Homo-oligomer: A and B are copies of this chain.
Amino acid sequence: MVLFVIGLGLADEHDITLKGFEAVKSSERIYLESYTSILMVPGFKERLEKLYQKPVILAHRETVELEAESILEGAATSNVAFLVVGDPLSATTHTDLILRAKQSTPSIPVKIIHNASIMTAIGSSGLAGYNFGQTVSVPFWTEDWKPDSWLERIGENLRIGLHTLALSDIKVREQSAEDMSRGILRYQDPRYMLIPQLISQINSAAQSHKADYLHPDQTLAIALCRMGSEQERIVSGTLQELLDMSNPTEEEARAEEAEDDADELASEAELDKRRAARAEARAKKAFGEPLHSLVIVGRRLHPLERDYAASYACPGSKFLQVAQDVYGCKE
């Protein structure tokens, strides 16, 4: 029988291909790689079950390896479908399962059904997929852990004029320090890095490395948010312009300060939490719900790419001027 490894595409249960849908219908067992499934619409598993009229088994990323035996066991006697959000092979995460299937005795035929991923959706920015260099992932920084090796990757791309897709971090199945110290196994809500934090970290890393290839006012970028969904939002501008989009207005800042001052009982930790919540609300107002990704525009910007990307410029943006003056992109 066959192990189908099926991409579900970008946004919801209807992004599967007709071929993928047929494969699911022919399968006796259906696994959903759950790490990525939380990226989709709420109740995604249930929506899939309704569409497929079949139960769907959640497979956690860290246990796919452990469960590989039972997944492949099923595939010996009937078709098995393994569903992955986006394209199933955009990262190497699932190659282990596939290799095991091929190497088992007797070997299990594997059929990959590709689909769109964020690496396809970058086309919606107007920039040509051909002109992208390597992709980077930007992890959440903490107080005392600020990894920034991804900056040099962006630099490698920019030095030869290429665009970069920067993927923002997500944290799922995290435990709080408090729960861990008490031995309570409980996961916190997933956290998603939003555009303002992504850009802040990029600017901060560029500054601390004195990177001459990246400058808040002279580097163009395009925010890609909830690509492929009904809430898709694309915004272009300089790094600084995009960052400023989620700043509070002066009036808002005054009102928030007054509110905090008035609350004399609140601890500093509580105030910090409140400020973070406000920042998140403003980020979502400016860019919508996660997932957020960012394209950093390279020097080899073509006029056709520029015109399309400029159609998404944020209000008052100097996109075209920077494209001409800094990028040398003229008609």
Binding site for B on A (CB under 8 A): 7, 9-10, 12-19, 21-22, 87-92, 95-96, 98-99, 102, 112-117, 119-121, 123-124, 126-137, 156-157, 160, 162, 227-228, 302, 304-305, 307-308, 311
Bound together, the chains give a CA A305 to CA B92 distance in angstroms of: 7
- If the complex has contacts A18-B18, A129-B135, A132-B134, are A119 and B116 also in contact, measured as CB distance less than 8 A? no
Question: What are the residues of chain B within 8 A of A308 when measuring CB–CB?
Answer: 92, 95, 98-99
**Which residues of the partner chain B approach A131 to less than 8 Å between Cβ atoms?**
134
**29 contacting pairs across A/B (C-beta < 8 A):** A7-B120, A10-B114, A13-B18, A14-B19, A15-B18, A17-B116, A87-B129, A89-B120, A89-B129, A90-B120, A90-B130, A92-B126, A92-B127, A92-B128, A92-B304, A95-B304, A95-B305, A99-B307, A99-B308, A99-B311, A102-B311, A113-B228, A114-B116, A114-B120, A114-B124, A116-B120, A117-B129, A130-B134, A132-B134
CA distance A124 to B13 in the complex (A): 23
| A115–B115 CA distance with the chains assembled, in angstroms | 5
Q: Which residue of B lies closest to A127 (CB)?
A: B92
Complex-state Cα separation, A112 to B99, whole angstroms:
34
Cβ of A17: which chain B residues have Cβ within 8 Å of it? Answer: 9, 14-18, 115-116
* Residue ID in chain B nearest A300 by CB atoms: B134
Measured in the bound complex, the distance between the Cα atoms of B112 and A124 in whole Å is 8
How far, in angstroms, from A132 to B119 measured CA to CA in the complex?
11
B114 touching A9 by the CB < 8 A rule? yes
